[in-house]
Amino acid sequence: MITATETTPGDVNEAHEMIVLLESHHFNTWIQAETVVADSKYGTVENFLACCDQGVEAHMPDLKEWTAKRIEKLNIFSEERFEYDRESDTYRCPAGHRLKPRSLHKSRESRDYAAPQKSCAVCDLREQCTKNKSGRTIKRHLRQEELDRMREASRTVRAKRDIKMRQHLMERSYARGTWYGFDRARWRGLWRVQIQEYLVSAVQNIQVLLRYGSYLKTSPSVMMEQIKGAATRGIRSFPEFKELMTRRIDQMLLFCFNCPDQHLS
């Protein structure tokens, strides 16, 4: 079921919309999602920690893995080769040098760790460690332990199973959307595209309910007539459309049905 949608301009990073969708899902269904399943674009530090704060499991590939692959291509040590000592709040590099806390980035909520520049300059492993003239630095988030716990949970067998299932379900949903012309915008203007998205989502939800729904307050044929009547009226703004849809077919937008898993994808 499609429980929340968000339409944005093309220059907006969709990864930043995950929490907005999560909150919209809760508002529309009155059900708190237990797990978020998403693709790798959503696997950011901010999203992992936001899920942690809300008590939601984050089953999505970690963007850090892509960074690790990039570092591997440079033939230098990955961050996993640097051991963190919690008591001294330092890292130990493969050569045995200590990387101590340096600059603090409040906006990113992270701290840089580095060894003395003289130590890096004469290190025998320098070519395998860094290409930077100033030496190797390690970034650590101020909530690194919570972040590590969320990342570890995203690599479990259950998480990988959900990610694979999501790929199948989302591709099928996108394919169905193209049946109704959702592969391109019918009208110009963000609010008009929002209307198109709501209509396509409503039609797909009705199809799911016809197949799996156990209880409907209004027959599907009546609902389709309501959608048709709402779509053909002279609507001039998105708030006007939203008010009309909410008033006339409220039970269609906020269906309640038995669902064993409360996953948001």
In residues, how long is the chain? Answer: 265
User: Distance from CA of residue 83 to its chain's centroid?
Assistant: 29
Residue 21 CB: number of other CB atoms within 10 A?
20
What is the C-alpha separation between 38 and 12, in angstroms, rounded? 17
Domain ranges of the chain: 14-62+154-264, 73-142
Answer yes or no: are the C-beta atoms of 212 and 198 closer than 8 Å: no
Q: What per-residue confidence (pLDDT) applies to 237?
A: 61
Q: What per-residue confidence (pLDDT) applies to 131?
A: 85
Q: What per-residue confidence (pLDDT) applies to 265?
A: 42
What is the C-alpha separation between 32 and 63, in angstroms, rounded? 26
- pLDDT tens, the chain, 265 aa long: 888 988 888 888 888 999 999 999 989 888 889 999 998 889 999 999 999 999 999 999 998 887 777 777 778 888 889 999 999 999 999 999 999 999 999 988 999 999 998 889 899 999 889 888 888 999 999 999 999 999 999 999 999 999 999 888 887 787 777 887 777 777 778 888 888 888 888 888 888 888 776 555 555 555 556 555 655 555 566 566 666 655 554 444 443 333 334 344 4
Q: What per-residue confidence (pLDDT) applies to 151?
A: 94
Q: What per-residue confidence (pLDDT) applies to 84?
A: 95
From the number of C-beta atoms within 10 Å of its C-beta (0-12, 13-18, 19+), residue 33 rates as buried
Q: What per-residue confidence (pLDDT) applies to 243?
A: 64
CA distances from 83 to 79, 109, 135, 151, 247 (A): 8, 21, 17, 18, 59
Q: What per-residue confidence (pLDDT) applies to 260?
A: 37
Tokens at 56, concatenated = 């939601």
CA distances from 127 to 74, 95, 139 (A): 10, 12, 20
Q: What per-residue confidence (pLDDT) applies to 94?
A: 93
Q: What per-residue confidence (pLDDT) applies to 223?
A: 58
Q: What per-residue confidence (pLDDT) applies to 74?
A: 78
Q: What per-residue confidence (pLDDT) applies to 235?
A: 59
What is the C-alpha separation between 46 and 68, in angstroms, rounded? 18
